[in-house]
């Protein structure tokens, strides 16, 4: 993966209703092509995500998501296309930084997310109430990809060595050492 997937969907947490909100993300063909290029896969045939946002406390929010994706990757054995369906459920917890103000909503750049690396279940601190709700989907999708895709029944086999293979330089050196 390199650079930015060029796909975002921003949500302002200050506008979150008390009962929470549900959001569906389904990128179009052009956006899926950009995401596939970012993921370094042949194609992303489909991607649909359902996100539920809720307030857990003052300045704390829970992000629950489910996605389904149809991807095409090249086989590591034959380079033939390998089709797979990926699906995942996950959640994130966000906490607004104490100095977050409503004026930061007008920001045009994506918010900076600082991770607390001591506790994996800790909230992610955000410096703006406007978050990119597509970014966690793309991150989880990238983690769900098979790093070594193969078609069913494919296996990498070492090429057989010929009995009358020409001597390599190391074999010649080995013979010299014996004499």
- The mean pLDDT of 20-43, rounded to a whole number, is 96
Q: Is 68 inside any structural domain?
A: yes
121 belongs to a structural domain: yes
Low-confidence winner among 7-11, 55-59, 142-146 (lowest mean pLDDT):
55-59
pLDDT at 166 over 70: no
Question: Where residue 108 falls among pLDDT bands split at 50, 70, 90?
Answer: very low
Domain tally for the chain? 1
In a domain, 1, yes or no: no
Share of the chain above pLDDT 70, in %: 80
**Residue 100 pLDDT:** 56
Given pLDDT bands bounded at 50, 70 and 90, which one contains residue 177? Answer: confident
Token pair 């996100």 in the structure block, residue: 51
Question: Taking residues 148-176, what's their average pLDDT?
Answer: 75
CB atoms within 10 A of CB 72: 15
Higher model confidence: residue 51 or residue 1? Answer: 51
**Which band of pLDDT confidence, cut at 50, 70 and 90, is reported for residue 117?**
very low
Q: Residue 176 is inside which H or E element, if any? A: helix 169-178
Q: Which of 60, 66, 39, 63 is nearest to 149 (CA)?
A: 39
Distance CA 104, CA 127 (A): 8
The answer to whether position 16 is within a domain reads yes
In a domain, 109, yes or no: yes
In the block, which residue shows the tokens 């063909």? 29
Residue 3 placed within a domain: no
Domain extent for 173: 10-178
Q: Is residue 28 part of a domain?
A: yes
- Regarding predicted confidence, which is higher, 2 or 92? 92
Q: What are phi and psi of 50, to 5 degrees?
A: -115, 130
Q: What confidence score (pLDDT) does residue 65 get?
A: 97
């Amino acid at each position: 993966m390199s650079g930015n997937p060029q796909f975002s969907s921003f949500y302002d947490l200050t506008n979150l209703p008390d009962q929470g909100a549900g959001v569906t993300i389904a990128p179009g063909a052009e956006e899926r092509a950009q995401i596939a290029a970012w993921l370094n896969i042949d194609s992303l045939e489909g991607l649909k995500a359902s996100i539920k946002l809720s307030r857990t406390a003052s300045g704390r929010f829970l992000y629950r998501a489910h996605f389904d994706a149809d991807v095409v990757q090249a086989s590591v054995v034959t380079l033939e296309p390998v089709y797979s369906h990926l699906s995942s459920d996950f959640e994130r917890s966000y906490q607004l930084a104490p100095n977050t103000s409503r004026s930061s909503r007008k920001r045009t750049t994506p918010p900076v997310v600082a991770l607390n690396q001591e506790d994996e279940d800790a909230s992610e601190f955000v410096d703006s109430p406007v978050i990119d709700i597509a970014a966690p989907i793309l991150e989880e999708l990238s983690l769900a990809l098979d790093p070594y895709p193969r078609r069913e029944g494919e296996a990498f086999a070492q090429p057989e060595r010929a009995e009358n293979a020409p001597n390599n330089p190391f074999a010649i050196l080995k013979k010299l050492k014996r004499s």
